[in-house]
A = this chain, B = another copy of it.
Amino acid sequence: MAAPIEFYFDFSSPYGFMAAQRIEALAARHGRAVDWHPMLLGVAFKQTGAMPLTEIPIKGAYAKHDFERTARYHGITGFRMPSRFPIPSQAPGRLVTWLKRDHPAQAAPVAKALYDAYFRADRDISSADVAADVAAEAGLARAEARAAMDDPAVKDAFRTDVESALARGVFGSPFVFADGEPFWGFDRFDQIDRWLESGGF
C-alpha cells in the first residue's frame, strides 16, 4: 500500500469536522490509509497572525452561515454550532496522540467520536473528563484514557507533533499532505482526489 494520507485537524474546527467525515472514503478510493494528526490552530495562528474565523468582523457572520450550508451541500447531517466555540483542544489532541501510541486501531474511531460529541451533540470535549467519557463510550477503559491526558510523555508527544506540523507549514484546519503535496481546506478535497488519481497535475 502506498503512503498514507496525512490528515491534520483541530478538534475545534468545523471544516475539520466535515473533512473527518470524508477523509477515509477519499483515501480508500486510492488504496490509501489515513494518518490522523490532531493539531492546535491557536499555536499556528500565533505565527500567521490569524484569529478564529467566527471572531473576525463581517467574515465571522458569513463563516457561520457557510458552515451550515457547506454541511448541507455535502450531505453531512447533524452538524450544529456548539454552545461553546471555539474551544482549546489540548485534551482531545492528547487523547488521540496516546491512542496512536498504545491503541492505534482506536485512534481514528475515537477521533471521529470526539468530533461527533462536539459538533453533533454539543458536548464540551475541551474537558479531559468529557473526552474520557467519549473514549469510554467507544470501548476504552475510562480511567486509563483519563490518566493518559495527564501523562507527561503523552503531552510531550502531542507538543512535538504540533511543532512538526508547524514546521511543515500547517497553518489551518483541515490540512492534508498527499504524497507530500499540501492541501488546505475541506474545499480542496476535489483536488486531492484528482491528485491521487493522476499522480499530480
Contacts and interface: CB of A to CB of B under 8 A. Distances in A.
Interface of A: 44, 47-51, 56-59, 61-62, 65-66, 69-70, 72-73, 166, 169, 171-172, 182, 184-185, 187-188, 190-191, 194, 201
Contacts of A57: 47-49
A201 B44 CA distance: 34
B59 A191 contact: no
Instruction: Summarize A's interface: helix, strand, loop or mixed.
Output: helix
Contact of A59 (B69, B73, B172, B188): B172
Contacts of A187: 185, 187-188
10 contacts: A48-B56, A48-B58, A49-B57, A50-B56, A62-B171, A65-B182, A69-B201, A72-B201, A73-B201, A187-B187
Contacts of A62: 169, 171, 182, 184
Contacts of A172: 59
Contacts of A50: 56, 59
A55 to B, nearest CB: 10
Given A73-B191, A191-B73, A169 B58 contact: yes
A190 B73 CA distance: 9
Contacts of A166: 58
A176 to B, nearest CB: 12
B191 A69 contact: yes
A194 B73 contact: yes
